[in-house]
Amino acid sequence: MLRIFTKDVQVPWCSYRRLLHSCPRVEHENPLGLPRRPGPPPQMPRRNAPIQKRSLPHVKKVLVVASGKGGVGKSTIAVNLAFALAMQRHNLSHQPRVGILDLDIFGPSTPKLMGLESAEEPRLTEGGAIIPITNHGLPCMSMGFLLPRSTDSGSNTDTPVVWRGLMVQKAVQQLLFDVDWREHDNGTGLDLLVIDMPPGTGDVPLTLGQLVNVDGAVIVSTPQDVALADVRKGVAMFKKISVPITGLVLNTSYFKCPTCTTPHYIFGQPDSFHSTANHLGAKVLGELPLVAGVSKSSDKGVPYMLEAAGDEEWKSTMKQIADDVWKTLA
């Protein structure tokens, strides 16, 4: 019999396991440390077991922005696309309410991109739900807001999340179902929630796709073949979990130097990208040029769509992408 030795006391493994399961607060059941809320929690995704997908509370439409590979500018595009969507009324009778949810548990970027690195920890409603933090007029939520801060810098950018898969799945569930997206002066929910996904095809996208009614997915890539290979995997994953593909976006497609108007394809021609899109039956939403101001604006915590002196070609392309997304979601 396997025994656990603790301070010279032998504890049989079966008793040790019962002790863990009888603890009043099991850490992986509530990784964000939220107050217990009434009602049954969302089901955990389990192999070969049917799970009823749910809509997110106070959210009409859900759009995910994803990439098979990291480092392609997905988070930057997700944040700027959210603002571009919020700027277009489309067929709505009012200015749309758009929110941003950062589901990258291990590498959250939204606090930096939204200028909220030093924001206070989110407040809770009386019912124990998380209240999103608003900046530049858009509410947003991220794991980065919940991490402990350094006493030296006051920031949490260097604080790692060291969790196994079960903790990640439960944290994702809490960020999905325990955030109150309503405007607290009039109770109005979101017309659209843009979710910034982590790269790859792991626990987070699978948990989202199995638990939530997702209305569309925008896949971001760069022109290199190594990035396009991961795009094919990402599209296949979303199709497997019945998430519709809204379209593909090619980032850093070309560069225009200040002294000429000729596009320079410094990362390769976009032919392979278009070929991949045709093969997958996915629409190409747009090709964004490489613009130095996008990086500078992101480092300042100001989305490039809000820059008055921003590159008009980049912003025009992003507006067109937003218009196509609204049409598809409608």
| Max CA distance (Å), the chain | 78
| pLDDT, position 80 | 97
The residue among 29, 117, 69 whose CA lies nearest residue 300 is 117
Q: How many CB atoms lie within 10 A of CB 136?
A: 17
DSSP string, 71-130: TSSHHHHHHHHHHHHHH--TT-SSPPPEEEEE--SSS--HHHHTT-TTPPPPPB-TTSPB
- The residue whose two tokens read 């070309």 is 254
Label residue 302 by pLDDT band (50, 70, 90).
very high
* Model confidence at 19: pLDDT above 50: no
Label residue 168 by pLDDT band (50, 70, 90).
confident
267-284, pLDDT tens digit by residue?
Answer: 889 999 999 999 999 999
* Model confidence at 7: pLDDT above 50: no
- Per DSSP, helices labelled H in the chain are 13-21, 74-87, 110-113, 165-177, 203-211, 225-240, 271-280, 292-300, 312-329
- The residue whose two tokens read 């032919």 is 271
The full length of the chain comes to 330
Q: What is the mean pLDDT of the chain?
A: 84
169-180, pLDDT tens digit by residue?
Answer: 888 999 999 999
Contact (CB, 8 A) for 33 and 181: no
DSSP string, 276-311: HHHHHT--EEEE----HHHHHHHHHT--GGG-TTS-
- Higher model confidence: residue 209 or residue 285? 285
Label residue 154 by pLDDT band (50, 70, 90).
low
226-260, pLDDT tens digit by residue?
Answer: 999 999 999 999 998 889 999 999 999 999 887 87
Lowest mean pLDDT across 5-9, 102-106, 130-134, 206-210:
5-9
* Model confidence at 263: pLDDT above 90: no
The residue among 247, 251, 326, 323 whose CA lies nearest residue 287 is 251
| pLDDT, position 187 | 84
Q: How many CA atoms lie within 13 A of 181 on its CB side?
A: 26
Alpha carbon distance 65, 269 (integer Å): 23
| pLDDT, position 271 | 93
Amino acid identity at 109: S
Structure token digits, residue 138: 């858009």
Alpha carbon distance 156, 147 (integer Å): 6
Alpha carbon distance 59, 195 (integer Å): 12
- Higher model confidence: residue 162 or residue 323? 323
pTM: 0.85
Contact (CB, 8 A) for 191 and 92: yes
Residue 246: burial class (beta carbons within 10 Å; 0-12, 13-18, 19+): buried
Contact (CB, 8 A) for 100 and 145: no
Alpha carbon distance 201, 12 (integer Å): 39
Label residue 21 by pLDDT band (50, 70, 90).
very low
Amino acid identity at 195: I
Alpha carbon distance 4, 17 (integer Å): 10
Structure token digits, residue 181: 């997206």
* Model confidence at 165: pLDDT above 90: no
